Amino acid sequence: MRKQVDEFKYVAETNRLLKDGGLLLVTQGKKGEPNAMTIGWGFLGTMWRRPVFVVAVRLSRYSHKLMEESDSYTVCLPGKGMEKMLEVCGTKSGRDMDKFKELGMTAAKGIQVKAPYIEECPVHIECEIAYKDQMEPGELKKAIEDEVYTTRDLHTIYYGEIKGVYEVEGARSKLP
């Protein structure tokens, strides 16, 4: 059983995991197929007087297609021992495999949003897309664009209004 907690309870853990290992972005397309993608870039904060979780998804990613078909997403904090899940979700495409089936992950129905979350993760954040912005070539500082976007596969930045953060009992002790 999950309980709702303060939107900012897991800020430190979220930032630590973004830097070391990653989080799991879960999307669902109009056909209902869920997909999970490892993310290492994003941030949790306040925008428009609302709590938000901002994620960046490259145009080439299957998750981008699903995000464009949806109005919500979830961000899941993986538990200890989920390194293989992070590796596969960060290197394989949902176009080529059903990651949930292959990895034995359970796509649980979102509590406040349409997008599912990964039941095996001890904490998840439910977001409703409030705004998105497509990066344009030449608009980013040149040194950053040259370093990060060598193939010019730019990101769409999604601002998700946090509708709820949920944890299982003892969640902190289950995080890496």
| H-assigned helices in 32-141 | 62-68, 83-91, 99-103
Cα–Cα distance between 156 and 56 in angstroms, integer?
6
pLDDT band, residue 65 (cuts 50/70/90):
very high
Other C-beta atoms closer than 10 Å to the C-beta of 154 total 19
Residues of the chain above pLDDT 70, percent: 100
Dump pLDDT digits (tens) for 139-176. Answer: 999 999 999 999 999 999 999 999 999 999 999 999 99
Domain ranges of the chain: 3-170
Dump pLDDT digits (tens) for 20-62. Answer: 999 999 999 999 999 999 999 999 999 999 999 999 999 999 9
Whole-model pTM: value is: 0.96
| Four-way CATH pick for 3-170: 2.40.30.20, 2.30.110.10, 3.40.50.2000, 1.10.1380.10 | 2.30.110.10
Average pLDDT of span 94-113:
97
pLDDT at 87 over 90: yes
CA 82 from chain centre, in angstroms, equals 15
pLDDT value at position 110? 98
Q: Amino acid identity, residue 116?
A: P
| Averaged pLDDT of the chain | 97
pLDDT value at position 1? 86
Cα–Cα distance between 140 and 148 in angstroms, integer?
10
Coil, strand or helix at 68: helix
Instruction: Name the token pair of 157.
Output: 């930045």
pLDDT at 112 over 90: yes
